[in-house]
Structure 1
Amino acid sequence: MFKQNSIEINNEKYIIRNLNIKDKNIIQKLCEDCTDYYNIVSGEEPKEDTWKEILEDLPPNKTYEEKYVLGIFKDKNLVAIVDLVRDYPDKGEWILGLLLIHPMERRKGLGEKINGLISNMVKDNKGTKLRIGVVEDNSKALNFWRNIGYLEVKRVNLTIGNKENIVIVMNHSVV
């Protein structure tokens, strides 16, 4: 379980806490506010139950005790979501399944701050690296992850929604 925390960027305070089923409406609203992301990745708008995928989807052989879904709030509004799974695909490696930031909060340094926070979380739990898969067509995200030190390890073909994608798998050491 993640302990509530806060970060500050340009004198603006953000609160980070665990999300759960009670937060389904605000998770769904953020997804709908980020249709640009969903169109790039899946060629579709977010579904009515996208919130459920975020809270419930797990990689093979993982449990909910190994999954963290964090919400980042500004002025009591959910502005970002982090979906993180411990020890996947290998022990010590944590997969960042999703970092979704509201369009009005992008390019303010929030993504980098969140990455620092989760890197520390991974380190505190004896993890050694973070892994993320980025759709090649999501060039802004790809540039972001590269700029903060993530390195490509492989490329895989993956169908997401209605779209065939090349997913660039990237790692980042946290030690």
Structure 2
Amino acid sequence: MKDVRDKHGYLFPEEDPRFHDTYKFLRRYRDANYSLKVVVRQMETQFRMKYGTSVDEFLDSIYAAGADLSGGDIEERARSIERSNRMLKMLDSSIDLLRTNHKYGEQYYWILYYTFLSPQELKGVNEIIEKLRTHISNISYRTYYRKRHAAIEALSTILWGFTAKETIKILNDFFPEG
């Protein structure tokens, strides 16, 4: 991909790989969240049937007895679930930070929620815009796409941060040397 920058040397959001990573992450959120809940539910059901106890109670009793589960199927599944859960929690906390601290955070939150995060996927942009009307007055298609882009860009900054080079450039713009 060609490196395209604005007059200040910043990557255009469409060219910034962080934007693409965030967009891809958001597009997979709903399915990942559902899959994680299904796997946890299945694991809990299997434990109840096999051991007559919950996963937490089983693991507590195993650890209390001094058993080592390292390298086993139980540990591998638990690690996989934990890794997925941490990624989803990282996104959730980043969205919460965006919502509560960005000057357009509330609007961005609802755009991201109806577009990517709600448990049920809406049928299309018309339905998303209809839901957004209670949160953003006079929202048009153009406004929706512009604000959706800005919301993803703002979330990208929270998730992936600025590089040191970008940070120095911003500081120099506000506090020039000399």
Higher relative contact order (CA 8 A, sep 6+): 2
TM-score of the superposed pair, with normalisation by structure 1? 0.25
TM-score of the superposed pair, with normalisation by structure 2? 0.25
User: Whose strand proportion is higher, 1 or 2?
Assistant: 1
User: Whose helix proportion is higher, 1 or 2?
Assistant: 2
